[in-house]
Amino acid sequence: MERAAPCLHFEAVRSEDGLLRDFAGTHLNAAAEALVRDFRLGRLHPLWSTPEAAERGAPPGLLDFHALARVVDTGEPYSRDLRLRAPGSGAGSGDAWYRATAVKHEDGFALWLAAAPPVRETEGALLEALAEEREARKAAEGALQVYDALLADAPVGMGLLDLDLQHTLVNPALAHMEGLQEGEALGAQLAPHLQPVLVPLCRLALEVGGPVVAELTPETWSGVPVGGDWQVVAFPVGRHGPGSPAQGVGLSLTDISERKRAERVLSAREEHLRLALQTANMVAWEWTYEHKRVTWSPRAEAFFGLEPGGLGDSLQQFLSCVHPEDEEMVREAISRGQEAQGAYAFRFRGVWPSGRVRTYETTGQTFHDEDGRPARMVGVVLDCTERERAEEAMRAAAERYRLASSATHDVLWELNLATGNVYWGEAGSDVFGYRVEQVGHDLGWWRQQVHPEDRERAAASLENLIASRSDTWREEYRFRRADGEYIDVLDRGTVVRDEQGNPLRVIGTMMDITERKRALEHMAQEAEFRERFIGILGHDLRNPLNAISLSAKTLARRAGLPASELRLAQRIDASAHRMGQMISDILDLTRARLAGGIPLHLAPVELHPVCKQVAEELATVHPQRRIHLQLEGDGQGVWDGSRLSQLLSNLLGNALEHSGPDAEVTVRCGESEGGQVLLQVHNPGPPIPNELLPSIFDPFRQAPSLRETGTRSSGLGLGLFVVREIARAHGGSVEVHSTREHGTTFRVRLPRDARRPSSDSVLDA
């Protein structure tokens, strides 16, 4: 049976207005299918080139499009010889010539292919052309084989898509990513799980007319485990010149998981380094000999107080940040560092644009090439300003403590409870006389030096401190010096505990109090002497004086006593009274100076009656003088009434003595600021000399009396001193103001309750 000739059917593709635009294949018989492999129905056939495609630069096809159009329009057949490869033939063999005849069929045409007679050998030119074409085809087919092998073995997913984004070429790697067999992917759309990712990239590549690169991190694609990081490249293909449209899209999918993993590891290390540098307040740098350029870690500008970009990458720009006085030193240090074989370090000062001076410390190392020449230097710069300040403060504190310890002769010691070791300060050799090698460093040595009578007590108290929750320790005992003599020491310690309260160390000082104890013994002897002296003044001298005064008073009351003898008796009594007043003042002076102050007997007191009583008593003594009382407020408080009577008597008597015979003396008792009571005595007349005012309240100080011009008072000059001491004993104060215009005024301020002295009281010197 004669085999049917190959036949292919095509139909016209027209625009909306009926114009012929192209042809599309609709059917082919079995003979044509065997002959023309990869021909698919519904696709535009590459046997011809349409006018639009020709205008865009597409190559001409094997058949004339216009001739085919005439077949459809007029029914006139169109024939042409074509050379096709026979089915199953290898490269360069099995070529056959066919007569292609197009015959009108409905709104299209049928293309019949009939075998043409063989070419005669006499046609030498044609044979030579066919041979050249055959050799070219062999070379092309060899290149295609290499290309096919490359696509098949490449670990990168590669493929071509037409303008409808259907596969025209798929390598095994891309087919695997799509979950398809290689043959199933040709002519198919992109796999659904790839479309959301790849379709936008392909369309963008067609739109921009160039490659589009994206990095994706899909976890799973349609159940196919292709997770990791991928680089996708989409690029237009099939362009035949600048401005010509693309015929499709090329795809490349590369697994960059390892690269990304390495980048993430590197990024994590860089972040760790950045955090470490930031935490340590330092920056890193690298200098290369070849490029003479410095590379800094991030935030280096802020580290040196500069704006972003202000540090630059040259050595000179870095030196501009260095303090001018240190620049030459830094240059020399860098020069030495280039030749150094190991790590090197140096400190320098930097000046910020704001004028702040910071201290930096750089540590670096130089790496040399095979010839021993410096290739690069790397290192870090640390801001040690605060550390240097802290070190300086520690050195100053240590020096202050050393000087203080030397000045006070205190011996510092520290007991490490974990090891039992004892550290002794340098002052130990001066205080105890032991050489360094003679001093033991455990508690046993300390126990041996403690006096046997004090040893158990001192050791037990220290052990109790460690075992208890107490933090401080104080003990007095006798300690043996290197010369064998025992000295009295005051030992004080503080316990250092951890967060759980467990004792770690005990730090303390030993003070030689031998001289102090001797001084205390001497003070005790002096106190005993004072008590005896005060007893003599208060008892042994007053008794005979009281006898004299009583005898003079008795004699003065005797009837019939001659006037001369009466005056003598009264003079004896007045002298005895004056002598008693002197003894009282001396007694008060002694108590104030030697016994710690004038003693008080505090009780509720009405101050107004006290003022009246003192004024009346002195008015009796000075009947010719005028004393004016101004009593305001209630005058109630807790005081020693007899002492306040003595205070007012001294002030009022002083005012009467140092003012003219016609002058009026005013006594005022009222309220003062802060809830205090004011007691004021004023007299007109000449002021107290300015040179006496600063020391007017000192003992044995007197101003000239107006009773006898140019003479001094008959007292000892203790009256105002006693006034001040009585005011101080009550927690109050006394002051004086004296001018020629306003006279002299003494003001005494007292708290309402002498048991709680006012914090605002002023104790005049």
Most confident of 92-106, 304-318, 517-531, 725-739: 725-739
Q: Are 424 and 413 in contact (CB under 8 A)?
A: yes
**Lowest model confidence (mean pLDDT) among 192-196, 249-253, 276-280:** 276-280
**Do 640 and 539 have their domain in common?**
no
Do 727 and 656 belong to one domain? Answer: yes
* 135 has pLDDT over 70: no
Candidate ranges 208-217, 531-540, 724-733; pick with highest mean pLDDT: 724-733
Q: Are 285 and 382 in contact (CB under 8 A)?
A: no
Q: Report yes or no on whether pTM surpasses 0.75.
A: no
Query: In the predicted model, is pLDDT for residue 30 greater than 50?
Result: yes
Three-state SS for 524?
Answer: helix
pLDDT the model gives residue 120: 47
Does 593 fall in a domain?
A: no
Does residue 413 share a domain with residue 342? no
Of the pLDDT bands very low, low, confident and very high (cuts 50, 70, 90), residue 211 is very high
Is residue 255 within 8 A of residue 230, CB to CB? The reply is yes
CA angle 156, 158, 160 (to 5 degrees): 175
One domain, residues 724 and 608: yes
Question: Is position 136 within any domain?
Answer: no
Domain that holds residue 610: 598-750
pLDDT at 595 over 50: yes
Highest mean pLDDT among 1-10, 176-185, 299-308, 515-524: 299-308
pLDDT band at 476 (very low <50, low <70, confident <90, very high): very high
Q: Are residues 269 and 251 in the same domain?
A: no
Evaluate whether residue 584 is within a structural domain: no
Residue 138 lies in a domain: no
CATH at 688: 3.30.565.10
Q: Assess whether 173 and 302 both reside in one domain.
A: no
Is residue 763 in a domain?
no
Helix (H, G, I), strand (E, B) or coil at 111: strand
626 and 484 fall within a common domain: no
pLDDT of residue 541: 61
Q: Would you give the DSSP letter of residue 682?
A: E
On whether both 543 and 466 belong to a single domain, the answer is: no
Check pLDDT > 90 for residue 127.
no
Residues 603, 737, single domain; the answer is yes
Write down which residue in 238, 255, 272 finishes a domain.
Answer: 255
Final residue before a domain boundary, out of 353, 383, 413: 383
Same domain as 566, residue 494: no
Task: Select from 546, 436, 415 the least CA-distant residue to 491.
Answer: 415
Domain of residue 458, CATH code = 3.30.450.20
Whether residue 605 is found in the same domain as residue 730: yes
pLDDT more than 90, % of the chain: 21
Q: Which residue blocks in 383-442 are alpha helix, DSSP H?
A: 385-408, 427-432
Q: For the chain, what is the domain count? A: 6
Specify if 764 maps to a domain: no
Same domain as 567, residue 448 = no
| The pLDDT of residue 604 | 95
Domain boundary among 255, 290, 306: 255
pLDDT at position 222 is 47
Q: H helices then E strands: how many in the chain?
A: 21, 27
Backbone angles phi, psi at 661, to 5 degrees: -65, -20
142 within a domain of the structure (yes/no): no
pLDDT greater than 80 at residue 384? yes
The structure tokens listed for 613 are 């009583």
Residue 586 domain-assigned? no
